Homo-oligomer: A and B are copies of this chain.
């Protein structure tokens, strides 16, 4: 079983966080409709043991903190307007860079890509982000190739997705990459995310 750590912070976008949380926590072997054998453990991780206020007011109590969490196989960095305040947060950025040295996969949703860029992980790579920050990201991170109209980009160890709901598609793709398309299709079926089979067939 792999451990997925999702960083959370004040003004994180709700679906950036919860779309991937849902996908990874629902993923099961093809045809397994039980709860006993999850393929991933999913953890929210914050700087402090305090409730995080997401965009719109959802309140999430983190399950772990930067200074104390199990080893992560997958690190996922969501976006939201709260990312802007974190661009100078060296403690968080160094934690991200440090985790990336040992993760199997490091991924961002939406403007979470800004944090990966700021942590120095995106130079020389093709990435995507929310449409509203594409130009700004290009001007700030000149060594990063920011793609538009792209649901997600797989650069091997690093994946980035477009805005908000695109994190669901990237996560299902990751389930497919790690466990095969049948497991991803079954996971999408459990979620009734019926767009997915058409996408994998293309």
Residues on A close to B: CB < 8 A? Answer: 13-15, 17-19, 21-22, 24-26, 33, 35, 38, 41-44, 51, 55-63, 81, 110, 130-132, 162-166, 168, 190-193, 195
Q: Which 8 A-B pairs have the closest CB atoms?
A: A25-B56, A18-B18, A163-B192, A15-B22, A59-B61, A165-B193, A164-B191, A14-B22
28 contacts between A and B (CB under 8 A): A13-B22, A14-B18, A14-B25, A15-B18, A15-B191, A18-B58, A21-B56, A21-B58, A22-B56, A24-B56, A25-B58, A26-B55, A41-B57, A42-B56, A44-B58, A58-B60, A59-B60, A59-B62, A61-B61, A131-B192, A162-B192, A163-B192, A164-B190, A164-B191, A164-B193, A165-B168, A165-B193, A195-B195
Chain B residues in 8 Å Cβ range of A35: 81
Chain B residues in 8 Å Cβ range of A14: 18, 21-22, 25
Rounded to whole Å, the gap between the CB of A26 and the closest CB of chain B is 7
The residue in A38, A58, A81, A132 that gathers the most chain B C-beta atoms within 10 A of its C-beta is A58
Chain A's interface: helix, strand, loop or mixed, by majority?
mixed
Chain B residues in 8 Å Cβ range of A57: 25, 41-43, 63
- Chain B's closest residue to A44 (CB) is B58
Rounded to whole Å, the gap between the CB of A196 and the closest CB of chain B is 9
Rounded to whole Å, the gap between the CB of A148 and the closest CB of chain B is 11
Chain B residues in 8 Å Cβ range of A24: 56
- Chain B's closest residue to A59 (CB) is B61
- Chain B's closest residue to A110 (CB) is B192
